[in-house]
Amino acid sequence: MPAHREPRRRSPPLPAPRGPLSGEVIDALRGGADPRAHAVGEADPLGDDVQLALYVLYELHYQGFADVDDEHEWNPALLALRRSLEAPFLAALRAGAPTDGGADTALAGLLVEPVGDDGRSVSHFLHDDGELWQLREYAALRSLYHLKEADPHAWVLPRLYGRAKAAMVAVEFDEFGAGREADIHARLYADLMADLSLETAYGHYLDLAPADVLATVNLMSLFGLHRSLRGALVGHFAAVEVTSSPGSRRLASALKRVGAGPAAQRFYDEHVEADAVHEQVVRRDVIGGLLADAPHLEPDIAFGIAATGFLEDRLAARLLAAWRGNSTALRGRLN
């Protein structure tokens, strides 16, 4: 088995801006003037400019950026702009992901897999027809998520207690390798990328990722950084764990079919087994424990599940439309 590849260069370089908002944020981080929020109301909350600006601002709470002062994490002007960007993003999520407020109904909906126009999801498409170049694109885009996969969910731990907290810690413990550095899931994903001859550096593919990809990562950060959205973060966590196993099985099979190495297959094989167990823990103890302690959070849990599905459906539509037309889903050329 190949040596584990840790995601290299913990602090990536700043990306290229995609509009005035992300431009002002990036300029400020390079030592320019503090950003203003004057154009926020005119921007598409799910578009490239807003989503990149949010991604960069959120990243200050993770690994940061090369040559950017860590003190910018709590820069009042940057925090004010982030707040003004979060409001329309959250409004767009609520508009696009309405719920009846019931956690059981939302959880039941997870058992019906999202599909494209031809009745297949992204994992179905890659399993049945995916070529190596499409699997490489998918791995590159998903690296923005999987190289920080468990980190945003850890923010909810101080906001839980009792049974919900104990169960959440148990699942997160697995995500972080159960005490074994080599088994941290982000490390396993870096191994997958290496097997596909992709760059394993943290954040390397940010400039190639469209807004639909950035939004799926920003969703975790939005929910994780706000105590008021702790129920939504638990809902997001549930959506990921409940839906992971069948899709991971198909992706592991697709990678084997195109001749990817054992490390590429192992990441998804690990999720087939682990997430089948995690699903039960999340349903029974994380959600059950949280609702026993705070029943008023049930609509937020349902919203977190619905918002996750809403953004994943948008991303799937973009990927499938590009691949069915035999064109790239990236914003540029993959290395």
Q: At residue 6, does pLDDT exceed 60? A: no
pLDDT at 2: 44
Residues in the chain: 335
Q: How confident is the model at residue 90 (pLDDT cuts 50, 70, 90)?
A: very high
The 10s digit of each residue's pLDDT in 241-250 is: 888 888 889 9
Q: Where are the alpha helices (DSSP H) in the chain?
A: 20-29, 48-59, 76-96, 103-109, 122-128, 132-146, 151-154, 162-175, 185-195, 211-224, 230-257, 262-281, 288-293, 298-324
Alpha-carbon 137 to chain mean position: 16
Averaged over 185-210, what is the pLDDT?
Answer: 94
Two structure tokens written together for 129: 């027809």
Token pair belonging to 46: 């799910």
Looking at the chain, the whole-number percentage of residues with pLDDT higher than 70 is 93
Task: Place 37 in a pLDDT band, splitting at 50, 70 and 90.
Answer: low
pLDDT attached to residue 244: 82
* Per-residue pLDDT, 268: 87
- C-alpha–C-alpha distance, residues 193 and 5, integer Å: 9
pLDDT tens-digit readout, 254-266: 999 999 888 888 8
Lowest mean pLDDT among 114-118, 152-156, 314-318: 114-118
C-alpha to C-alpha distance for 19 and 15, rounded to whole angstroms: 12
Instruction: State the first-to-last Cα distance of the chain, in angstroms, to the nearest integer.
Output: 25
With 0-12 / 13-18 / 19 or more C-beta atoms within 10 angstroms meaning exposed / middle / buried, residue 19 is middle
Q: How confident is the model at residue 183 (pLDDT cuts 50, 70, 90)?
A: confident
As a whole number, the mean pLDDT across the chain is 90
Listing DSSP states for 208-242 in one string gives G--HHHHHHHHHHHHHHT-GGGHHHHHHHHHHHHH
pLDDT interval class at 112 (50, 70, 90)? low
Residue 47 structure tokens: 């578009």
Tokens of 117: 């126009």
- What is the rounded distance in angstroms from the CA atom of residue 10 to the CA atom of residue 302? 34
- Looking at residue 276, what is its pLDDT? 64
Quick one: which of 48, 65, 83 has its CA closest to 11?
65
Q: How much is the pLDDT for 220?
A: 97
CA 90 to chain centre: 16
